[in-house]
Chains A and B, each alone.
Chain A
């Protein structure tokens, strides 16, 4: 049997630093199984709530749907999942048994350290996390502004981790209160440093010591705590990265009316995410690309403004940071505060008194492959080791570190972890992309800029259920398409003739190249050899699903008339219709089977319910012309005609099979369809009695 090449990953998953099963959770959402989606998310990423808010979503950048219209809103779907599974999530928390005598100390309770703690606790190690602040979360809790990431969201993830039995000791500064040697003496067999980059870089320009010149990290920390001193009306932020925009937007929310971000980089080179820049511009923040700081203008030791000089080039021919300026091109901005967001460095106080060596000031001596520092049993992960990165990259590094530490504890050896690349399907070929139906993405709703700058409230609304379902259906299910069983395939070319995307080929036997297949399932439904199945939708699976549903009610108690309704999963706006409860069946006489596109139903699928005792079958497809798969409606109509003809031949009557097209939505029209079909059955019964 030829199955999909398991080595090829969908680009979204491959791009995700923790290889989240993005297609899996999008599919689970589309099926209304939000709990399953949560399990998939948490399996890859214990900081799923955080990433649902602030992930830089490399998955979306890699999404093959970009070639058609716009990427699937995976980050927002993730947020939807965690926001709709809170109860389930709390209920699944369980303390993990300690299986090994070795204890692990983790220094720093940011995403990297806590992910490692999570993995090591799950592996059976006793883990203690030391945090110098009052609360865990690292930069997520201390500096990322609340309007982007409320602390309760961070806490949701952390509570999961602590529930495993991870011990958290806050207010303990390693290197000052306790040394690494003290930790060893306390019985920790391995130590993982995950202290992040907690110190802001400063500049050496004239006037830098003036009052009103602030550093990004302490400024953001104070803003989170609500302890900032007034910043005045005019604020200039130096820097063009994400932190700079956090600072600028925070300053705006603290009351500054004129906020300007000035940075060395040109507009195109600015390292901040484009969406951060756009949102900042919406909030009235000015951006001055290609300007570098020259001097702080101060009066009586207090900042009054800043002189900027035109930056001609940031990087040299080799790509090294080597800015050149036009010293004659100067701009002066008035400012009540100047806030520097020009990068961060590590505070390595934690290694004081230990033999852990540094490469250079602020940089540990560290092996990227083994994650080991110069001292046996001491490892490092997250930004303190890798330099600046996103939250999800910190999580990925935490996973790696947990593997490194566990291996060391088990074997006494260091684990070499070479960088892993995941071969992907690549871009969607143009010839296929042009045949795929365009479906506009569900836009995220943001509060109006003028309203959101008035406080630190969450400005982005998560998807509603209907929106999440709609967006999840946009996933192309890359690499989850059709595959043929060579032993059965007759090479008849039916798949080639029905494939609406021109994907199927036959060379002795059929093949549907996974980099192109859109998983519409038409070939599987039409294959005369029943030789084709979909990765996620087995041939003739409907019968099993229906049998399982009917088996939940004793045969004598099955309601009459019994109508089996195959329903297009893509037409529901809430999961109330998605899940078939035996109680609903007993009450309504309608056995619902949701199908991700009813055009996948084969003739045997349509007939199966009658064999299982149904009085009638109702197929409800999308609204007319709305099916996302070209020609699928006509193909299904052909199969319905065939089944009706056979029902007539059998003597059961074609009228026992109805094919409806959804009007507006499932909630609006389906119940009416079922009623009409039931009434028709009742009339037939009367006629038969009279006859």
Chain B
């Protein structure tokens, strides 16, 4: 899941300064699950903006909307139509950056501002806490590391760890961050595969990840039919 966190209210408010008809658009997928951009948060942000504008004596209108997934154009279509029909001047999207991109693309002349900071691919550690668990590097090596990703979970993304900074299972960065390599070793010991770590992993080709430029993925069979249509 994509994890995001809310932007400071003041920053978001500043984005829409000067617009009179604003829409807060939530997304019913990842950002709902990580409690920052679903229908409830749309209501909170919209309410906050209305209160702030009321205090400042500004006559603005703040509309609310939430779509199933902003990362799918088809889900955004009715929203785009509504935005045009109602003459919305600016949109705050509480979706991840993907949603903001697609909504902005569809809206052309209406500005779309991000209401959240998209942070990582992660999962729940406990209620209210998410951890980064995948970096989307483009060449998965989890089969070599006991299912624990050193690219995402090691601060240095080293392939042959741990580094000298490992400290009682924690990363030298401090806080609650676990040393990914300590976890890998513990896990592979339990699996009885620790010996596999004696094979030195060569340096990574990072071009499979974002460093290789924007990526594209196609499922040929589907794409071919779509093109014909």
Contact = CB atoms under 8 A, between A and B. Distances in A.
Interface string A599-627: 00011100110110100000000000000
B164 interface: no
B55 A490 contact: no
A488 B52 contact: no
A268 to B, nearest CB: 51
A429 interface: no
Contacts of B43: 530, 540, 602-604
A491 B34 CA distance: 11
A530 B39 contact: yes
A528 B38 contact: yes
B48 A490 contact: no
Interface stretch (A34-42, A299-307, A328-336, A647-655): A647-655
A349 interface: no
A607 B40 contact: no
Q: How large is the interface on B (under 10, 10 to 19, 20 to 34, 35 or more residues)?
A: 20 to 34
A613 B55 CA distance: 9
Contact of B39 (A491, A529, A646, A650): A529
A652 B10 CA distance: 13
A85 to B, nearest CB: 39
Given A604-B43, A604-B44, A646-B9, A652 B38 contact: no
A607 B32 contact: no
Interface in B31-58: 32-33, 35, 38-41, 43-44, 47-48, 50-52, 54-55
A677 interface: no
Contacts of B9: 646, 649-650
B169 interface: no
A488 B40 CA distance: 11
A652 B47 contact: no
A580 to B, nearest CB: 22
A611 B50 contact: yes
Contacts of B50: 611
B8 interface: yes
Interface string A509-549: 00000000000000000011111000000001000000000
A646 B32 contact: no
Contacts of A527: 40
Contacts of B51: 607, 610-611, 647, 650, 652
A607 B48 contact: yes
Contacts of A491: 33
Nearest to B54: A611
A250 interface: no
A650 B40 CA distance: 18
A165 B50 CA distance: 57
B224 interface: no
A494 interface: yes
B123 to A, nearest CB: 12
Given A488-B39, A528-B32, A646 B48 contact: yes
A611 B52 CA distance: 9
A647 B40 CA distance: 17
Contacts of A646: 9, 44, 48
Contacts of A531: 39
Nearest to A531: B39
A353 B40 CA distance: 75
Contacts of A222: none
Contact of A494 (B10, B35, B41): B35
Given A646-B9, A649-B8, A649-B10, A529 B32 contact: yes
A668 B184 CA distance: 61
B127 interface: yes
Contacts of B135: none
A233 to B, nearest CB: 73
Contacts of A2: none
B29 interface: yes
Contacts of A651: 52, 55
B111 interface: no
A602 B40 contact: yes
B14 to A, nearest CB: 12
B interface majority secondary structure: helix
Interface in A472-515: 488, 490-494, 497-498
Given A650-B55, A651-B55, A528 B48 contact: no
Nearest to A642: B44
B32 A492 contact: yes
B67 to A, nearest CB: 11
B28 interface: yes
Given A490-B28, A650-B55, A608 B10 contact: no
B38 A530 contact: yes
A497 B127 contact: yes
A608 B44 CA distance: 9
Interface string B88-109: 0000000000000000000000
Contacts of A602: 40, 43
B52 A528 contact: no
B162 to A, nearest CB: 33
A650 B29 CA distance: 27
A229 B10 CA distance: 90
B44 A490 contact: no
Contact of B40 (A498, A528, A610, A613): A528
A244 B32 CA distance: 66
B55 A652 contact: yes
Contact of B54 (A493, A529, A608, A613): A613
B5 to A, nearest CB: 14
Nearest to A638: B128
Contacts of B55: 650-652
Nearest to A610: B51
Contact of A490 (B8, B32, B124): B32
Contact of B28 (A498, A529, A649): A529
A644 to B, nearest CB: 12
- Of the listed residues B8, B41, B48, B127, the one surrounded by the most CB atoms of chain A closer than 10 A to its CB is B48
B141 to A, nearest CB: 29
Interface string A213-225: 0000000000000
A647 B44 CA distance: 11
A608 B50 CA distance: 10
Given A530-B40, A650-B55, A611 B47 contact: yes
A653 B29 CA distance: 32
Contacts of B54: 610-611, 613
Given A488-B39, A610-B51, A649-B10, A528 B44 contact: no
A608 B40 CA distance: 13
Contacts of A490: 28-29, 32-33, 38
A652 B29 CA distance: 32
Interface in A324-346: none
Contacts of B52: 650-652
A500 to B, nearest CB: 13
Contacts of B10: 649
19 contacts: A488-B28, A488-B66, A490-B29, A492-B33, A494-B127, A527-B40, A528-B35, A529-B40, A530-B43, A602-B43, A607-B44, A608-B47, A611-B47, A611-B51, A649-B9, A649-B48, A650-B9, A651-B52, A652-B51
Interface of B: 8-10, 28-29, 32-33, 35, 38-41, 43-44, 47-48, 50-52, 54-55, 66, 124, 127
CB-based closest 9 A-B pairs: A649-B9, A528-B38, A492-B33, A604-B43, A490-B32, A530-B39, A607-B47, A497-B127, A610-B51
Given A529-B66, A607-B44, 10 more contacts: A492-B32, A492-B35, A493-B33, A494-B35, A528-B35, A528-B40, A646-B44, A650-B48, A650-B55, A651-B55
